[in-house]
Structure 1
Amino acid sequence: MEWFLDTRVAGSGSDLRHQVMDYLQRHGDPADDFAGAEITISELLSNVERHTEGVAWVSLTWSGTNPLLSVQDLGPGFDLQAALPEDHLSVGGRGLFLADRLSRGLAVRRRSHRGSHVSATLPVNRPTAADLDPPRHRIDALPAPDEARPDGGFGREPFLRALVVQLAASVEEQRGPDAAEAAVAQVGIDVGGSMENEYRAAAEVVGHLSAQQLAECYVRLKHAIDGAFYVIEVSDDRIVLGNDRCPFGDVVTRAPSLCRMTSSVFGGIAAANRDDGAAVLLEERIAVGDPGCRVVIDLAPGSHAPNPAAHHYRSPAAGTPVAEPSR
């Protein structure tokens, strides 16, 4: 990465320091000495701003374990003297000493024409990447061959469905069903919030959604993604929905954890509109061989003993629903 630094612009060095640090923190090991790296960067850039006029060029290369910061300027040039000033009470003179001590190597050379080239190896490591090379599943992998278009290749819908189903199945295989359900539940909570906002805007609803409005919201959003949900029952205490077609198709049987998506979407929206939270019971599921789905959304879970098979959702003060473990 390279940057052009105009030392005549006030604050340009500080802005560049923040950019470099943002990059290091995104890609470096969190346990490393970012404070030392920031002091080193600050001293090198401050040195340019104090002792040169005009422009400088800054680059950061990270081809090895540690990043190398280089600063080239058009100043008078100088030689490296990384030592404390003789007058210990002097205001300046400690910059290169600090940079030398905090970095993993500091070098200065005069440019052939004019100016200096200063480089510092920063005390940050790139984390060791996990070597992931899993075997390819050749049996029943998605997208299925019969989903290919006549002209070859797969359309966006089969491809995205395959990504979701295969991802959920892989998490379950590698981390277990609890991890897969937890990941899917978080996605459902977040997606459900966006879908609720869209329904509110379309229906011009302000305040808590009523039970009837919740049911309409559920059916609307599921139809939008090619589900076939319909209302069986609506009351102040609960909503019962049926479904004849899963948005993921028959392949949902390979990743039953995806049912937590439905649970979290419905439960999250309900909990955000009920002071006592909500609970969702997946009584029947296509994913486990039932002919259809039957979903019960409990809008008053605190009025009776909790169902241990239900997924419970609460609404904290911030208004963001949180999925709780099944009781």
Structure 2
Amino acid sequence: MNEIKVNNIRLDHLSIPLERDTFFRSVIRGISGQLEDLIGLDEASGFISIVGQEIGTEINDSYKKELQVSKLSRDQICGVLQDLKTRIKGNFHIISVDENKVIFGNNTCPFGDKVHGRPSLCMMTSNVFGTIAAENNGYAKVTLDKTIARGDKYCHVTVYFQLTDEAKEAEGREYYEGS
């Protein structure tokens, strides 16, 4: 790094909490906040959902390529969803899994403290999870039961693999293969 001085003070020695990751999380927070303020939470969530779907498709393709499969099994879907969040510094863990659904818990958001008060950012999780699950399973429904963004101490996310009575009653977003 080049030594930059102002008034004989080295700027790179200042305790400024600024680096690429924090900067980009701040940019995303600012964009989501402006969207929420200008067009409303529902529309901002919709916009972020589109981005999440694109990213979910890319991530899904990467995992299928590396695992050398054309479709992920349900066990692989659960593992991939947990792994991708771990890679981006989330702390997602599986609370329970059965033939109909997987429930995740999380106490560390990949957006860090930048997610507080920005519930539209949770659409990134919903759409990445929903896209990956649906593209490999044909259908998925994602519910964001608790979120750090809305002020909860942790996240509680359910991914349904089938449209059971429980899934029908749950408030969330549905995803379908190819959509």
TM-score (norm. length: structure 1):
0.48
Q: Which amino acid aligns with 2:36?
A: E
- Residue 112 of structure 2 corresponds to residue 249 of structure 1: yes
Deviations 1:114-165 (A, max 9, x none): xxxxxxxxxxxxxxxxxxxxxxxxxxxxxxxxxx974458211111111111
Q: Which residue of 2 aligns with 1:309?
A: 171
Identity of aligned residues (%): 34
Show the counterpart of 2:58: 194
CA contact 1:252–1:258 (8 Å) conserved in 2: yes
Matched, 1:287 2:168: no
Cα gap change, 1:207 to 1:156, in 2 (>3 Å) = same
Bigger radius of gyration:
1
The 4+ residue runs of structure 1 with deviation greater than 2 A are 148-154, 201-204
d(CA) in 2 for partners of 1:269, 1:229: 16
Q: Does the C-alpha gap of structure 1 residues 172 and 149 become closer, same or farther in structure 2, counting only changes over 3 Å?
A: farther
SS of alignment partner, residue 208 of structure 1: coil
Cα gap change, 1:149/1:298 in structure 2, threshold over 3 Å: closer, same or farther?
farther
**Paired position in structure 2 for 1:234:** 97
Normalised by the length of structure 2, the TM-score is 0.86
Whether the 8 Å CA contact 2:93–2:104 is kept in 1: the answer is yes
Q: Which residue does 1:120 correspond to in 2?
A: none
Pairing 1:142-157 to 2, within 5 Å after superposition? 150-151=13-14, 154-157=18-21
Separation (CA, whole Å) in 2 of partners of 1:265 and 1:157: 20
Q: Which residue number corresponds to residue 184 of structure 1?
A: 48
What is residue 33 of structure 2 aligned with on the other side? 169
Greater helix fraction, Structure 1 or Structure 2: 2
Deviation of residue 216 (structure 1)?
Answer: 0.7
SS at match of 1:199: helix
Provide Cα deviations, 1:158-215, integer angstroms capped at 9, x if missing partner.
Answer: 11111111101100100111111001100111101111122122222x2321221011
For the 8 Å contact 2:148–2:154, the answer to whether it is kept is yes
In 1, Cα distance between equivalents of 2:94 and 2:57 = 21
Structure 2 CA distance for aligned equivalents of residues 168 and 261 of structure 1: 11
Structure 1: any 5+ residue segments left out of the alignment? 1-147, 322-327
CA distance in 2 between counterparts of 1:298 and 1:236 reads 9
Partner letter of residue 306 of structure 1? K
Q: CA deviation at 1:307?
A: 2.8
Which shifted more, 167-176 or 252-261? Answer: 252-261
Does the 8 Å CA contact 1:230/1:241 hold for their aligned counterparts? yes
Give 2:161's aligned residue.
299
CA–CA separation in structure 2 for the residues paired with 1:256 and 1:287: 5
CA distance in 1, matches of 2:22, 2:12: 10
State the distance in 2 between where 1:254 and 1:149 align: 32
Partner of 2:67: 203
User: Per-residue CA shift, 1:278-316, capped at 9, x if unaligned?
Assistant: 100111111112111111000002x3262351111122x
What is the CA RMSD across the aligned residues, in angstroms?
A: 1.9
The number of aligned residues is: 167
Alignment map for 1:33-48 (pairs within 5 Å): none
Change (3 A) 1:149 1:207: same
Stretches of structure 2 lacking an aligned partner (at least 5 in a row): 1-10
Q: Check conservation: 2:64, 2:70, Cα contact below 8 A.
A: no
In 1, the alpha carbon distance for the partners of 2:86 and 2:12 equals 24
SS at match of 1:233: strand
Rounded to whole Å, the distance in 1 between the matches of 2:103 and 2:120 is 21
